[in-house]
Amino acid sequence: MAYRPETQALHAGWRADATNGAVAVPIFQTTSYQFADSEHARSLFGLEKLGFIYSRTGNPTVDVLERRLAALEGGAGALALGSGQAASAFSVLALSQAGDNIVSSTDLYGGTWNLFANTLKRQGIEVRFVDPADPENFRRATDDRTRAYYGETLPNPKLAVFPIAEVATIGRAAGIPLILDNTAAPLLARPFEHGAAVVVYSATKYLGGHGTSIGGVIIDGGHFDWTSQPDRQPALNAPDPALEAEVVVEANRFFALPEADKLTVQMIHSPHFRGYNRAGQEITRGKQDWREQFDIHAEREPWPRTEGMPAWTRLQGPNQWPAAQPRLREVLLAWQAALTEVAIRVVRAFAEALEQSPDALAPIYEGAPNQTMKIIRYPARDADESDQGVGAHKDSGLLTLLLQDEVGGLQVQGKDGWIDAVPVPGTFVVNIGELLELASNGYLRATVHRVVSPEGRDRLSVAFFLGARLDSTVPVLALPPHLAAEATGPTADPDNPLFRKVGENYLKGRLRSHPDVARRHYADLVEQSASC
């Protein structure tokens, strides 16, 4: 049922107190909240459950206000703040960083003008002021570092109506949201219905109405596609540092599980090469890799097994997840999704560097890319033990994004020997994979790399591999002559032949690296290979 604004203003977000039936919203003047037990606290801090932790991040009274204002505006959600200026600042800072810019109407409240012209300037964020009388001024002031457009529905004190629909349309085509200050016209103007992406308010004026309290609010309309052009909105499309930290925490928790729990998801149980391997179970160039690891891929249903189906179709299927650590699934799949977006952006950049369309390789990964991920623990070794954490090899996909801890050991093969890839906080190591080498006819070379087992302490890494669809075939890109002259063809290695059929290329590596899984689930191929 759709309620009239008068009803929403009184009741949205709150109906009555569950204990005594009071319909007025109580003021919860508290900083802290009682947890039922340590597990309840963990689930709240781990974001597994919704609830209140500390009033800086959420308060029941403020929560009702946010729900009520989102309902009145027709938005998806809201964030209440201490003032309207805080709302304006937060809305811009959430999308921008030093070196970025926003394009703003010249018709602004004086405090907002000062915020934009002076305060944000000191943060390295440029605000480009344009006359909104001609909406095309917004387009003309836009460049590749523009993160948002900003205007006021009825600016104070000029009261010249802002062209919401025209500016919003220009912005949406470029992946740029229109942030609109609707302080002067709540309910009278409906910015979301005209294309605005975000609405901000000083709740001190018409929303409050009594001149007794200062407040501000940001409301998201829920209709702007923040992921359609990820390069335009990097703040919302790059991996969240909090998620990165949680991945590391969950990885360490997994490796700390009792061995019996880890063995319930041992890879040998999976024909899809998903699951846990003890140190020494994976093989590179005929030698054991001294690393303990857990592999996951995209969560997909297995292909039906019918006679004549290629062997590589057996690779697709579900992951194994340890019952003793239910949070692991959610965290790793969230990381996989975030890294997929980043990796596709890097592949598009490689295509442009090869003077191709950014989407030149999209036909082989769109829809169902082959996403592989490993959490890896390299146990500390003594000086007299094997130092092969993982032997020299190339990755079989398009590219790899590797997150390492502070313990070194990763090395990349250069012209004059091995080069240490020294860990740098806040960065990924990017490896070119075999499929990019094939697509560029050898202009790009797949990164040969290895890991030397650490002495004295363990090493943790998290590797994400973006591959093409298993049913695709890698094309040879038509490079311009000056690049084609340097493309001498893929590396010829009889011990590691490269196949353009993606499924075959990937299966080749899995069978070679995991002989125990191959013997159990691909015995027909093992026997065929032995008889050749």
Strand ranges (DSSP E) for 240-338? 275-277, 283-284, 287-288, 292-297
The DSSP code sequence of 415-477 is TTEEEE----TT--EEEE-HHHHHHTTTSS-PPPEEEEPPBSS-EEEEEEEEE--TT-B----
Strand ranges (DSSP E) for 210-358? 216-220, 275-277, 283-284, 287-288, 292-297
- Neighbouring CB atoms inside 10 A of 231's CB total 12
> Can you name the residues that pair with 381 across neighbouring β-strands?
455
Give the amino acid at 55.
S
What are 39's two structure tokens?
């597990």
Under 8 Å between Cβ of 430 and 345: no
- Neighbouring CB atoms inside 10 A of 57's CB total 7
> Which residues participate in catalysis according to the annotation?
56, 109, 181, 205
Separation CA 138–CA 133 (nearest Å): 10
Separation CA 242–CA 519 (nearest Å): 41
> Can you name the residues that pair with 287 across neighbouring β-strands?
284
> Can you name the residues that pair with 264 across neighbouring β-strands?
none
What are 221's two structure tokens?
């309309």
Separation CA 476–CA 442 (nearest Å): 10
- DSSP reduced 3-state for 399: strand
Burial readout 413-427 (b: 16 or more C-beta within 10 A, e: otherwise)? eeeeeeeebebeeee
In this structure, the dihedral spanned by the alpha carbons of residues 89, 95, 101 and 103, taken in order and rounded to 10 degrees, is: -70
Strands 399-404 and 429-432: antiparallel
Distance of CA 453 to the CA centre of its chain: 30
CA distances from 469 to 423, 476, 501 (A): 31, 16, 10
